[in-house]
Amino acid sequence: MRVAVLLLGLVVVCSAMAVTEGFNITRILANHPEFSTFNHYLTVTHLAGEINRRNTITVLAVDNSGMAEVLAKHLSIFSLKNLLYLHVLADYFGSRKLHQITHRSAVVSTLFQATGAAPGTTGFVNITNLRGGRVGFGAASEESNEANLESFFVKTIDDVSYKIAVVQITKMLRSPIAEAPTPAPNQYNLTLLMAKKGCTVFANLLASIPAVETAFEESVNGGLTIFCPIDQAVKAFEPKFKNLTVEGKTSLLLFHASPFYMSLQMLKTQNGVMTTLATDSYKNYNMTAQNARWSPSRRRPAPPRSPGR
Ligand SMILES: *[C@@H]1O[C@H](CO)[C@@H](O)[C@H](O)[C@H]1NC(C)=O
Ligand SMILES: *[C@@H]1O[C@H](CO)[C@@H](O)[C@H](O)[C@H]1NC(C)=O
Ligand SMILES: *[C@@H]1O[C@H](CO)[C@@H](O)[C@H](O)[C@H]1NC(C)=O
Ligand SMILES: *[C@@H]1O[C@H](CO)[C@@H](O)[C@H](O)[C@H]1NC(C)=O
Ligand SMILES: *[C@@H]1O[C@H](CO)[C@@H](O)[C@H](O)[C@H]1NC(C)=O
């Protein structure tokens, strides 16, 4: 549901590389019926896909009664997604690491933090080792890292090669910010979002081909990342663009977006091949993102090479 509009400052090239064999949170939780509600909402919010794409991660899961407590609040699916984001730590915390926190307490960033929608420290979870070997969890407050430690470690559900941990906690964390009403995706105006980032010319190109505009809008629900080239770059490329066939233009524009949400931070940590809106069963219009040294004063961002002819 979230949209990332990123300026092309990263090196983006076409290539076809092997897919890395990932893990599948849906399958892991499917073996544990007591987490079926939590699992269901990871799927309907499309969070499962985001989790599966991460390399080191910890999922704080609650059982069906814990979820029932949250569902009783009748949050919109979008607010619920934010709350679930807060339950995915952007680092590995297996049982051993949880019980041996350096200085007994740590503040860990979550995928809620990565959405950019979490003000102050609200995207962080405070984990504290308590007396008697208990491990407490709480959402950091807006002003400080201190938290009401009201949820506790229960057990490890799964631990994949010391990189991915799925652990049960007693109840969902509470966060007024994550639970606050949030706009539904169709309230996002992509043209406006891109214009704000200096991509007006690119936005106008999208709007000039209705099939492309529709494809972008329809992808927002499942998460979307747009790599929008700045006006200067698009203007320089426009004469060539005008020469392309409609199919060529369509592919090129669709190539500038990936059908899942990635913040800049996520993109930096999870380099590799990703599909684009232009990828289909015949067209290998995948994109590869890689970290690179980049000096804005010497090099200018340019649109990636046309995937088509
Ligand atoms: C993950 O597992 C579920 C259930 O087995 C399956 O429906 C889904 O397609 C899998 N996802 C991926 C990305 O393999
Ligand atoms: C976590 O919260 C507890 C309880 O409010 C607080 O005492 C502790 O200092 C916090 N931890 C960190 C690292 O800020
Ligand atoms: C989005 O914003 C632009 C610029 O303000 C406006 O022209 C357009 O009608 C808006 N689109 C939608 C779907 O609201
Ligand atoms: C556009 O196509 C025409 C005819 O094929 C060619 O002469 C011209 O150089 C092309 N312009 C650009 C900018 O590629
Ligand atoms: C790239 O695109 C092809 C063709 O559409 C697709 O079959 C393949 O799975 C993609 N590869 C990766 C690594 O995403």
Token reading at 28: 């892991």
Of 140, 138, 145, nearest in space to 171 by CA: 138
107 CB within 6 A, ligand 2: yes
Burial of 17 (0-12, 13-18, 19+ CB in 10 A): exposed
- As for ligand 1, residues whose beta carbon falls within 6 Å of it are 24, 26-27, 30, 52
- Find residue 257's DSSP bridge partners: 226
Q: Which residue among 234, 237, 238, 243 has the greatest number of ligand 4 atoms within 8 angstroms of its CB, and so is best to mutate? A: 243
Q: Residue 145: how many CB atoms within 10 A of its CB? A: 15
Residue 5's pLDDT is 63
Token reading at 169: 């906690």
Atom of ligand 4 nearest to the CA of 239: 13
Q: Which amino acid is at 244?
A: L
Residue 3's pLDDT is 60
- Going from the Cα of 132 to the center of ligand 5, the distance in angstroms, rounded, reads 50
Of 206, 198, 279, 197, nearest in space to 231 by CA: 198
Q: Residue 95: how many CB atoms within 10 A of its CB? A: 14
- Going from the Cα of 254 to the center of ligand 5, the distance in angstroms, rounded, reads 15
Q: Residues 58-84: pLDDT tens digits? A: 999 999 999 999 999 988 888 999 999
Q: Residues 176-224: pLDDT tens digits? A: 999 988 766 666 788 888 998 899 999 999 999 999 998 888 777 667 8
- Going from the Cα of 156 to the center of ligand 5, the distance in angstroms, rounded, reads 34
* Least confidently predicted of 63-72, 216-225, 234-243, 270-279: 216-225
Atom of ligand 5 nearest to the CA of 273: 13
Task: Go through the domains of the chain in sequence order and give each one's CATH number.
Answer: 3-18+183-296 (2.30.180), 32-179 (2.30.180.10)
Q: Are 66 and 30 in contact (CB under 8 A)?
A: no
Report, as an integer, the average pLDDT of 141-168.
Answer: 93
Q: Are 175 and 126 in contact (CB under 8 A)?
A: no
Residue in the structure block whose two tokens are 């005008």: 242
- Going from the Cα of 27 to the center of ligand 1, the distance in angstroms, rounded, reads 6
Token reading at 153: 């470690």
- Find residue 129's DSSP bridge partners: 135
CA-nearest residue, atom 4 of ligand 5:
284
* Ligand minimally distant from the alpha carbon of residue 239: 4
14 CB within 6 A, ligand 2: no
Which is it for the CA torsion 101, 106, 112, 113, positive or negative?
Answer: negative
- Going from the Cα of 81 to the center of ligand 1, the distance in angstroms, rounded, reads 19
What are the start-end ranges of the E strands in the chain?
A: 3-7, 11-14, 57-61, 88-89, 105-109, 124-129, 135-139, 151-160, 164-169, 224-228, 257-258, 272-274, 287-290
Confidence of residue 11 (pLDDT cuts 50, 70, 90): very low
Q: Are 153 and 60 in contact (CB under 8 A)?
A: no
Burial of 234 (0-12, 13-18, 19+ CB in 10 A): buried
Q: Are 176 and 148 in contact (CB under 8 A)?
A: no
- Going from the Cα of 81 to the center of ligand 4, the distance in angstroms, rounded, reads 48
Atom of ligand 3 nearest to the CA of 189: 1
CA-nearest residue, atom 6 of ligand 2:
146
